[in-house]
Amino acid sequence: MRLIVHPGVRKSLIHPEIYGHFSEHLGRCIYGGVFVGKDSPIPNVNGMRTDVVNALKRIHLPALRWPGGCFADEYHWRDGVGPLSSRVKMINSHWGGVVEDNSFGTHEFFELCRQLGCEPYVNGNLGSGTVREMQDWVEYITSPDVSPMADLRRANGQDAPWALKYFGVGNENWGCGGNMTAAFYADNYRRYQTYVRNYGDNHIYKIACGAGTSIKNPGCDWTETLMREAGRMMNGLSLHYYTVPYDNWQHKGSATEFSRADYMDTVARAQFMDRLCEMHGAVMDRYDPEKRVGLIVDEWGTWYDVEPGTNPSFLYQQNTMRDAMVAALTLNIFNRHSDRVHMANLAQLANVLQSLVLTDGERMLLTPTYHVFDLFKAHQGATLLGSMSDTDELSSDGMRFPRVSHSASVNAEGRVHITLCNLSPDEAAPVSLRIDGQTMALEGAALLTGDMHAHNTFESPDAVRPRALEGVSVRAADGGTEISLTLPPVACASLTFA
Ligand code: AHR
């Protein structure tokens, strides 16, 4: 495969938030995954697991969405503030009917974001909450003034307001968030967002609920209605897409035991994210040619059957090199659509769907997907570079995807970062790469590879981990840099040049 990168062709900013994540009150994502409480024997700071926080800091996790998901439109924030002893217990009716004791609430979420050093993204309740409840929550979080909500926050131990940039006005309001039509939601969005106010010097980036999508129904009508009716009142419009093998939601298949055909189908469906960005981007362009409104892909990732013996409502699944390939392909797609995609949030942070980390009591492991985010982190905040590749395509059931996916960026210090992903399950990919018009030296090259089924377990937590990419040859030629390397099958590599 021949790939030419043009450092002189500078495109869009790769918003760091494209590498964002999602944490819902679902199964063991919050409880046990990140939050164990101050009295836990598991090492923690103010209740947050030290091992998980340290791991997430290493990948520079930029933004975290909370509290849902479907949970968001059933969440009443006042249940989760104040002394622990007086917090209301409720049934988490959407996710398994388990007791939610609200010990993780607004204060705990902002403490988690403080420890991670990330932007909080709070998703408000439009489906079953009132306008006033949403208004009060924003006031509680952000108001520096004398006001009933700011005073309540102070009484609950937080004197200074928190900075809150991202606020979602409902989640999946076409489904679990109220079964609304696009027109009905658009009217509701217009009403609710009016009262999502800016207090002091806090400025909120308002995110409207966007389309649920599938290959059969890409959901562009919803985007059209929202952009037409409410586009000028929003900063971002969301989009959700999950990769489910064969789109068979009844039998999604095992996360670890799958065939070559299942692998090909999964990767081919993940590639559909590219079409979604194009299609929804084209609709948005008609109403917003300046690309002011961000496409916020605030739920994406693979969704399989739960691990045998686990609660079906907890959505706990393992994570293999197949997931790593989906993550690498999708992040390259987001980078290349970063003119419109301003944030994306993998579902979910821990122990739910395509997780970064899995925990078992005091044990924690990093998934292959985690390692992909590590390899890609240098793209955060860099500028997308123009590039051209002549990769051939692979296909599954008529759905095509590139054999080798890539993206390239340059950071403020002039370092060029290139991520490559060989999606072939069984063939190595020789790559001939040129950085045009600039002579550069290789500063680092890392590789994540393994059998498509390879994954980490608590017994063998480092079975899959990045290592140095060997055998990269670099030479100056015709005023540019010529590089050659070979990617093994099922592999993701990152190269940095200075
Ligand atoms: O991520 C799991 C669920 O998937 C979310 O709660 C919901 O928004 C989506 O349907």
pLDDT tens digits along 205-241: 999 999 989 999 999 999 999 999 999 999 999 999 9
Active site residue 413: no
381 alpha carbon to ligand 1 midpoint, in Å?
A: 28
- 307 annotated active-site: no
Among 22, 30, 70, 71, the mutation site with the greatest number of ligand 1 atoms within 8 A of its Cβ is 70
SS3 of 93-113: the string is CCCCCEEECCCCCHHHHHHHH
Strands 205-212 and 236-243, sheet pairing: parallel
Cα–Cα distance measured from residue 17 to residue 229, given in angstroms and rounded to the nearest whole number: 26
Please compute the mean of the pLDDT values over residues 255-265 and round it to a whole number: 98
Full-prediction pTM beyond 0.95? yes
Percent of the chain clearing pLDDT 90 (strictly above): 100
Q: Which helix (H) or strand (E) holds 363?
A: strand 363-366
- As to burial, measured by CB atoms within 10 angstroms (0-12 exposed, 13-18 middle, 19+ buried), residue 384 is buried
Q: Is 353 helix (H, G, I), strand (E, B) or coil?
A: coil
- What spacing in Å lies between the alpha carbon of 348 and ligand 1's midpoint? 9
C-beta of residue 22 within 8 angstroms of C-beta of residue 353:
no
49, 42 contact by CB (below 8 A):
yes
pLDDT confidence of residue 488: 98
Calpha distance 227→236 (Å, rounded): 10
Q: Is 66 helix (H, G, I), strand (E, B) or coil?
A: strand
CA of 70 to the centre of ligand 1 (A): 6
Query: Among residues 469, 421, 416, 464, which one has the least CA distance to residue 445?
Result: 469
pLDDT digits (tens, 9 = 90+) for 56-70: 999 999 999 999 999
Ligand 1 pocket mutation, candidates 299, 302, 306, criterion most atoms within 8 A of CB = 299
Give per-residue pLDDT as tens, 277-301. 999 999 999 999 999 999 999 999 9
Cα–Cα dist 204/236, whole Å:
11
Q: Mean pLDDT throughout 30-38?
A: 98
Q: Which pLDDT score, from 0 to 100, does residue 413 have?
A: 97
Within 377-462, where are the H helices? none
**For residue 220, what pLDDT is reported?**
98
Average pLDDT over residues 191-215: 97
Percent of the chain with pLDDT over 70: 100
Residue with CA nearest ligand 1 atom 4: 69
Rg (CA), the chain: 22
Q: How far apart are CA 211 and CA 225, in angstroms?
A: 10
Give Cβ neighbours of residue 226 (< 8 Å, ≥ 6 apart): 182, 185, 186, 189, 208, 210, 234, 237
Distance CA 223, CA 229 (A): 10
Mean pLDDT confidence for 259-273: 98
Q: Which of 26, 121, 172, 348 to mutate to test the pocket of ligand 1 (most atoms within 8 A of CB)?
A: 172
Q: Which residue's C-alpha comes closest to atom 3 of ligand 1?
A: 69
Which segments within 367-458 are labelled E, that is strand?
Answer: 383-389, 393-396, 399-402, 404-410, 416-422, 429-435, 442-449
Q: Tell me the CA–centroid distance for residue 85 and ligand 1, in Å.
A: 30
Helix (H, G, I), strand (E, B) or coil at 56: helix
Cis peptide before 69 (omega within 30 of 0): yes
Q: How far is CA 216 from the centre of its chain?
A: 23
* Average pLDDT value for residue range 165-177: 98
Give the pLDDT confidence score for residue 281 in this predicted structure. 98
Task: State the distance from the centre of ligand 1 to the C-alpha of 69, rounded, in angstroms.
Answer: 5
Total count of residues recorded for the chain: 498
* pLDDT value at residue 263: 98
Find, among 230, 131, 219, 146, the residue nearest to 186 by Cα. Answer: 230
The 10s digit of each residue's pLDDT in 321-372 is 999 999 999 999 999 999 999 999 999 999 999 999 999 999 999 999 999 9
- Among residues 273, 132, 134, the alpha carbon closest in space to that of 213 is found at 273
| Contact partners, residue 260, CB within 8 Å, separation at least 6 | 425, 426, 452
Atom number, ligand 1, closest to the C-alpha of residue 177: 8
Residue 250: exposure state from Cβ atoms within 10 A (0-12, 13-18, ≥19): exposed
Q: Cis bond leading into 348, ω under 30°?
A: yes
Catalytic residue among 17, 100, 172, 229: 172
Give bridge partners of residue 357 from the DSSP assignment: 350, 366
